[in-house]
Every structure is written in structure tokens, then in C-alpha cells.
Structure 1
């Protein structure tokens, strides 16, 4: 997965869940993730990583406008401007999977969540991978074919209801 895809997917996910905002969006990445996306060594100087990330966005996705990248304590903040968020809102469609997943989450029924994953997998010629996470992240659901949906969903059903966290496989493996 590319940094561009991850940023656009995450902003689109937030817009789909909570609507748009004219203040821009800040996304935070640990150093190991940022270096992985940019194919830089983890030992790289933080200032250089910020410069490389900003140059990456300028070249790869100029439609987002100027994306600012800053660092504090090995945590990188990617700021997508209001103009960039508008571009994502207007030009990037909501993924079929995410739209359906967010609807089924409103049922607050874990069996329906599992059924949705199974039905989506069957409709797209793949299978669901499911496992319980030992780190209290709940049930981890994903698809065998990452082209269908590249993210892993950690779905927790507890006294607060059903919630989820979405990770790339690489980020999940670093938890």
C-alpha cells in the first residue's frame, strides 16, 4: 500500500463516518510506518523524512495541494489542507465495502458484522480471515484477497458496543 492511498482512504473513511470539515485533517504515523511507506531506513533523520514525505505528496498527488508533514517524538503528522479534503470529498468515491460495513455496524450485532464480511467475500470471490487478537483488539477480520479490501478490521464487542480499528497488515504487525 502507498502512503497516498492510506492518507486518501483514511480521510475518506472519516468523511464517510462523521462528515466533512473545513479545517483540514491531521493524520499521525509512527516513524517505522512513515519510513516504510517512503522506503527510507528507520535511522533516517526526522527532518529528511518530513522533506521526503512533502516531496512525495507534491509529486504523487498534487490534487491534495500542499501537504505539510511535521514530527515530534518520532511521530509524524500529515496535515491535509481543507482544499485537499475537498478534493477527496468530491472526487474520491466511498469504497463499496466501507459503505456497507459502516451501515452494518449501526446494527450493533456482531453476527451481522460477520455475515456482512462473509457475503462481501463470497460476492468478490475471496474468503474471510478471522482470528481473535491476544492484545485486546477484538476479532480481526480481513479478506484473503487484499485487492478486494486491503485493510484488517479489529472489531470489538464490549459493554460500550461494537467499535473497530482499521489497520494495514504492516501496521498491525507492529502492534
Structure 2
């Protein structure tokens, strides 16, 4: 597989992942398209290219992704790109991810008012015994989980338990390095499995 095709696959998967997360958390409106905004650096990282090369890849990506996402619209602003996926594409994502249980289980677990970090860890264990749990000293997160096998899920899940409740953020490695490692101290690094 060429670098260009790998980049296209990565961006397509990321679009699927983000739209699917929205479906799990919020549902989706029949007949409505979905828009995602990508900062240029992240889009370049997903496409495995430099920021300067993004414009030259857009038409090829649109053609490549047509069978998976239907017609998509790219719009460029100064610092980011706006990608709009048609309702046809949203339905394709829903169909493709109908058997993905991890995120559904995780969101359902977090909705339980009695949820603990052990409950969250059990969701990861259920999917694969090969995961990593980190306790972090950060003003926004106390725990970070991710699977060793990125084909299961490539995100790092950063959890907070505070007076406002329980919540998580999903971060790609691109964002994780900037947000987490630049602003916190890692404590107990637990390898599971």
C-alpha cells in the first residue's frame, strides 16, 4: 500500500470514528449531513503528508472516499479544513460500525452515576486484555487508557472524575503528545495483558 493510500485510509477511518462517536453519544438526525473541522497539522498527519501538500490530495481523496462516504465537501479556511459528509455517507458509517460495541459499552458505563475507574477498565478488558492504563497528574485528566493493538481502536481515552461528573476525551497520538505529555507527569504505568 502506498503512503498516499495509507493516508487516505487513515483519514477515512478518522472521519468514520468521529461521526460514529457522535452517533453513539447524541444519535443522528435523519436527512442531515455531518461536518468535521480539521486543523491543518492534524489533517496532514492523518494524510501522512506535509501541510503544503494537502490541497493537491483533496480531489483524489474525494474520489477515493466516494464509495465509503458518498459525496463529501472540503472547504478551506485560514487555519483549518471543513469536511462535510452527506447523509448518505452518515448512513454508510452507521451500517459499517453497527457491530462495534466498545464505544457503546464505554458511553453506557459512563452514564451510570455509580461508575468507577474499575468499571471503565473492565470495558477495556472485555474488548482485549492487551491495553495500557496510565494514571496522570494533570488538571484535566486523571487516567489514560488505550489498546496496544491500534487496529482495535487508535485513540487514547483520557478520563476525569471530578465534582462536575465523569467524562472522557478521545485523543489521537498527534493530539495526545501535545495535550498530555507537555502538561502532565505520568505516574503508574500499568501494562495489562
Q: Give runs of aligned pairs for residues 90-129 of structure 1, distance below 5 A.
A: 90-111=95-116, 113-118=117-122, 120-121=124-125, 124-129=128-133
Cα distance per residue 1:96-137 (max 9 Å; x no partner): 2111101101113452x4333245336623133223153524
Cα distance per residue 1:48-90 (max 9 Å; x no partner): 6245234214214523111111122311111111111122123
Aligned length: 170
TM-score (norm 1): 0.83
Matched residue of 2:157: which SS?
strand
The Cα of 1:169 is off from its aligned counterpart by: 1.4
Query: Do 2:131 and 2:145's aligned partners in 1 also have CA atoms closer than 8 Å?
Result: no
For 1:55 and 1:135, the matched residues in 2 are separated by: 41
TM-score (norm 2): 0.76
- Say whether 1:88 aligns with 2:97: no
Q: Give runs of aligned pairs for residues 9-24 of structure 1, distance below 5 A.
A: 9-21=17-29, 22-24=31-33
CA RMSD, aligned part only? 2.3
For 2:125 and 2:58, the matched residues in 1 are separated by: 34
Q: Give runs of aligned pairs for residues 29-48 of structure 1, distance below 5 A.
A: 29-42=38-51, 44=52
> Which deviates further from its counterpart, 144-153 or 113-122?
113-122
For 1:108 and 1:69, the matched residues in 2 are separated by: 40
Unaligned runs of 5+ in 2: 1-8, 180-193
